[in-house]
Structure 1
Amino acid sequence: MAASPPESAFPPLTARAVLLGERIDTVGLERRDAVSTTPLAFGVGEQGFAVVFRYGVVVLIGLDPLAEDEVLRGIGPRVVSPFALREEETARLAPAGDREERVEPDGAICIADRSPQRLLVVADALAKSAALADDERQVAQVFDTIEPWARELARRGRGPAGRRAMIRLIGAALLVEHRVSGRVAVSDKPDILWDRPDLERLYARLETEYELDERAEVLNRKLGLIGQTARLMTDLIDTERSLRLEWAIVVLIVAEIGLTLYQMASGVAG
């Protein structure tokens, strides 16, 4: 009987990260064969691997489409606020051979072996990239809404919409800010690195490849701008309300003076 190939000689694998929703409730999903509990990771079939992140991402490695669909259906009931549009991040995993672990120019991730610890590191980077992609899309949608408003404000000195539309815009901006800032801490390294510091170089290369820190920094700057815009719009609403109130008071005072003058004139005439 022929000997099985070593772990370092594995065939190329496909890793796919799928953002399913706002959050995944992993309570009750614990398994005896789990490789990790935070995040939850377990084997699928003979060579497949799945990692479930609480911030809504599932990473599937070495699975065919049917097996992927089966895993996603099983996790589906656990997804909180599922997304109609799912962000995905896909990568090809290949053996590094005698060379060091790296990311090839074509995006292929070369790893020393397909051990669960290395797959956890790869899954962490792919999951964060998928979550960031969704955050970037949501922030871009808010900017697309804010830009015409800001342009009209610069041209006319006032917003183009009414108070209700402005309040809806503020709500959308604050909702995106809350979702993005509370979803995933990109700067946090995977827990496996505490036990396997030798994998830090691999994670650093993946972090650079997917520009995790740079994308998070740009996203935070945009979120800050969204927050400032929401506060500006709130101030404008308050200012307009104060102006209307002041004009109402002025009209009442003028009306009262006019009524008083009329009464005085009527008294003199009488």
Structure 2
Amino acid sequence: MPSTVSEHPASQVSRSPLGGQRTTARAFFVAERLNTSGLERSDVLATTPLAFRVNENGVAILFRYGVVVLIGLNALEEEEFLRGLQSRMITPFARREEESATIELASEKDDQIPPGGPIYLQSLSPERLILVGEALAKSVVLARHEREVAAVFDTTEPFARELAKSGQIHRSRGAILKHIGNALSVRHRVSGPVEVSEKPDILWDKPQLERLYARLEDEYELKERSESLNRKLAVIAETAQVLTDIIDTRRSLRLELIIVFLILFEVLITIYQLATGRHV
């Protein structure tokens, strides 16, 4: 696995890019994709994901699946940085998802995340900050997808209730097709380029930080939320299939009725011809 940390001298790589003992990390899910090509610079901290210094004490971590994590910046600096990225946002969202965490330097402790407390790190090294960014990025993506899937379930419930009550759906074909389209669209977006269960690339170079990332995974329940989302996506796929089958059944029934009417019409014509003595 190729190295993801920029090839700087060890003293530069391990040195914290932040100035204080306590800082805030914020993740913004801004677009479906983010074009990071051409953003490489001399002060780069890592290449996968792309991480570099911002101003004097800030760090930006960019993920191609549309998430920007900013560490050590104030609100005005965050907005200014995001505005500068707008031309690189592919299909930006009208409403962006956000998630934040407090990071605190605790050199006398192991890396740990107490319940309801900040993320304590032995050092504010770029590697540790990138792992925090990885966890926040995946969490903010899951949050948006959870909301989208919940919206699909809200529209699915009336269909299911109507089907359970009467054994059929009294909705127009257009309404059913629209629901199928919404369900498949959400399924496609959620099954996109974010692999929550994948190990961050930086751990291949820094395996000693695997315990920290495991704690971050537990804190944000990444695996559990991903599994829950996959189960809901399976239900959405089954629902879309059921609705498609209903449309096919309606179409088949309509064709059968047309054929029956045509046969009946031909029989009536034949009877009329026999009755009037005019044979073809």
Q: Distance in 2 between matches of 1:161 and 1:78?
A: 42
Say whether 1:243 aligns with 2:253: yes
The aligned counterpart of 1:165 is 175
Distance 1:43 1:216, change over 3 A: same
- Give the C-alpha shift of residue 208 in structure 1: 0.2
Matched, 1:134 2:133: no
2:118 corresponds in structure 1 to: 108
Number of residues paired by the alignment? Answer: 263
Q: How big is the shift at 1:47?
A: 1.1
- Larger mean CA deviation between 152-161 and 242-251 belongs to 152-161
| Superposed counterparts of 1:221-240, under 5 Å | 221-240=231-250
- Secondary structure at the counterpart of residue 26 of structure 1: coil
Distance in 2, Cα, partners of 1:90 & 1:67? 15
1:117-266 equivalence runs, <5 A: 117-266=127-276
2: CA distance, partners of 1:19 / 1:9? 26
TM-score w.r.t. length of structure 1: 0.94
Shift of 1:76: 1.2
Structure 2 alignment gaps of length 5 or more: 1-14
Aligned equivalents of 2:188, 2:31: Cα separation in 1: 15
Q: Distance in 2 between matches of 1:216 and 1:15?
A: 22
Contact 1:20/1:86 (8 A) holds in 2: yes
Structure 1 position 183, deviation (Å): 3.2
**1:12 aligned residue (22, 41, 47):** 22
C-alpha distance in structure 2 between counterparts of 1:141 and 1:182, whole Å: 18
Q: Which residue of 2 aligns with 1:33?
A: 43
Identity %: 56
Task: Give the CA deviation at 1:175.
Answer: 0.8
1:122-173 per-residue CA deviation (whole Å, 9 max, x = no partner) reads 0000000000001101111111111111110111111231101101111111
Amino acid in structure 2 at the alignment position of 1:198? Q
Contact 1:10 1:114 in 2 (8 A): no
How far apart, CA to CA, are the structure 2 residues paired with 1:107 and 1:26? 33
2:75 matched to which residue of 1?
A: 65
| In structure 1, C-alpha distance between the alignment counterparts of 2:123 and 2:169, rounded to whole Å | 58
Change (3 A) 1:249 1:121: same
Contact persistence 2:24–2:103 (CA under 8 A): yes
SS in 1 for 2:53: strand
- CA distances 1:203-247 after superposition (whole Å, capped 9, x unpaired): 000000000000000000110111111111111111110000001
1:3 aligns to what? none
Q: Is the 8 A contact 2:19 2:57 kept in 1?
A: no
Q: Which moved more, 1:207-216 or 1:68-77?
A: 68-77
- Which range is displaced more, 158-167 or 121-130? 158-167
Kept in 2, the 8 Å contact 1:9–1:113? The answer is no
TM-score with structure 2 setting the length: 0.91
Q: Say if 2:27 is the partner of 1:43.
A: no
Give the deviation of 1:113 after TM superposition: 1.2
Q: CA deviation at 1:9?
A: 9.3
Task: Supply the RMSD in Å over aligned alpha carbons.
Answer: 1.5
Query: In the TM superposition, what is the alpha-carbon distance from 1:104 to its structure 2 partner?
Result: 2.1
- Partner of 1:91 in structure 2? 101
Would the aligned equivalents of 1:91 and 1:107 in 2 still touch at CA under 8 Å? no
Deviations 1:59-118 (A, max 9, x none): 000001121112101111111111111111100001223121111222410001111111
Counterpart residue type for residue 51 of structure 2: A
Give distance in 2, aligned partners of 1:139 and 1:161: 22
2-side partners of 1:107 and 1:182: how far apart?
32
Instruction: Name segments (4+ residues, structure 1) moved above 3 Å.
Output: 6-10
- Say if 1:129 and 1:210, in contact at 8 Å, map to a contact too: yes
CA distance in structure 2 between the aligned counterparts of 1:79 and 1:86, rounded to whole angstroms:
12
- Opposite residue 205 of structure 1, the aligned amino acid is R
Letter in 1 for 2:240: A
